[in-house]
A = this chain, B = another copy of it.
Amino acid sequence: MVGYKFMGKAHSHAYKDVGMFFETNADVVMKAICGRDEQGVKAAADKFGWESYETDWRKLVEREDIDIVDINAPSDAHKEITLAAIAAGKHVFCEKPLALNLADGREMLAAAEKAGVKHAICFNYRFLPAVQLAKQIIDEGRLGEIHHYRATYLQDWLVDPNFPLAWRLKKEVAGSGAHGDLNAHSIDLARFLIGEFDRVIGHNRTFVKQRPIPESSEGLSGNGSAEYGEVTVDDATGFLADFKNGAMGMFIASRFATGRKNHNTFEIHGSKGSIRWDLERLNELEVYFREDEPNLAGFRTINATDASHKYAGNWWPVGHAIGYEHGFVHIVYEFVKHIMEGTPFTPTFLDGVRCQEVLEAVDLSIERGAWVSIEEV
């Protein structure tokens, strides 16, 4: 694994716990973790339970005892490491976004396909039981024809103007702001649930244009220094979408939505029913069926922790909530099974590319002030 911060911790936890709750037909062994700072990566290896560590990812990807390379380093490093890992014949599990831009993403996909290695992109929210239930309901045709899709992904950690200029706020490292970080998840869920985008048009804002430069380059919440630097990514991006199936879409991602902490939601209306989900109550799914008796129809709040709900039965009895990190355990489980048993698996790099296409089409539409077709990018 390359990377050992927030995502490194979430991924490590997934490898650590997957065998305890799922049968993967494989012994997942946590061989080595990699980071540039030796002290930091050594501590992480100890704490997270990795057998060894490396400070040079080039060494890591060449180790004989490694089958899967997990990449959760900052976005600007994804491409180079991925291509090297593929060249070394490793399967690759890459954090989103796949790459800083579409061209890089396509190159990574092509390389993986050519090499015949297995590849995954970590759109973890697909793997929550409530989201799986939404998918099942739609695939069974129980919502009928889809008319509306609306998604929000709202956080508020930037609303404080003294929050420092972290690397996530610099375009050259992060690629994008709320759009690439949060809309990426919403776009992937929309594609997963109702299919491909046709065209988009958006708008965005950087509400606070200058922020204090953090004294330590690592810190997210350090005391702001006296110096200020330019924020070069969006604080919020919203867009309208038309889907290929005729549905109307509406998306908003923001780091300025005061009071919303992790408000990743979707609401879908079809000719036969509707669905609503919210990551802040991730174990619940709200579902409405028109076929219910008229005086008894209403949104059902389903506690998706029953043994009848995908993955839920592997954890605890009904009513016992699971948390955010469980989605990572499930995606790791599916990817390992995919490698070992050839079971079908998405999301792959192709989904990463498709998502990137929509992100870039939105950015282009903002530049142009007019709709952009996905096929154009």
| Size class of the contact patch on chain A | 35 or more
| A53 surroundings in chain B (CB, below 8 A) | none
> Nearest residue in B to A371 (C-beta to C-beta)?
B369
Given A259-B274, A260-B269, 14 more A-B residue pairs with CB atoms under 8 Å apart are A10-B316, A137-B296, A148-B257, A238-B248, A258-B269, A258-B271, A258-B274, A258-B288, A261-B319, A262-B319, A263-B319, A295-B302, A315-B323, A315-B325
Q: Is the CB–CB distance between B288 and A318 below 8 Å?
A: no
Q: Is the CB–CB distance between B240 and A201 below 8 Å?
A: yes
| A290 surroundings in chain B (CB, below 8 A) | 159, 258-259
Q: Is the CB–CB distance between B305 and A296 below 8 Å?
A: no
Closest Cβ of chain B: how far from A258's Cβ, in Å? Answer: 5
| A283 surroundings in chain B (CB, below 8 A) | 280
A308, B297: Cα distance in complex, Å: 11
A325, B281: Cα distance in complex, Å: 16
The 5 closest A-B pairs by CB, nearest first: A262-B319, A261-B319, A259-B288, A323-B323, A298-B300
Are A236 and B147 CB-contacts (below 8 A) given A47-B19, A259-B273, A295-B133? yes
Q: Which of A150-168 contact B (CB under 8 A)?
A: 150, 152, 154-157, 159
**Partner of A205 from B246, B295, B324 at Cβ < 8 Å:** B246
A147, B234: Cα distance in complex, Å: 13
Q: Which residues of A line the B interface, CB within 8 A?
A: 6, 9-10, 12-13, 16-17, 19-20, 47-49, 133, 137, 143, 145, 147-148, 150, 152, 154-157, 159, 201-205, 207, 236, 238-240, 242, 246, 248, 250, 252, 254, 256-263, 269-274, 279-283, 285-288, 290, 292, 294-306, 308-309, 315-326, 369-371
Q: Is the CB–CB distance between B17 and A17 below 8 Å?
A: yes
Q: Is the CB–CB distance between A308 and B294 below 8 Å?
A: yes
Are A256 and B269 CB-contacts (below 8 A) given A49-B20, A296-B287, A298-B301? yes
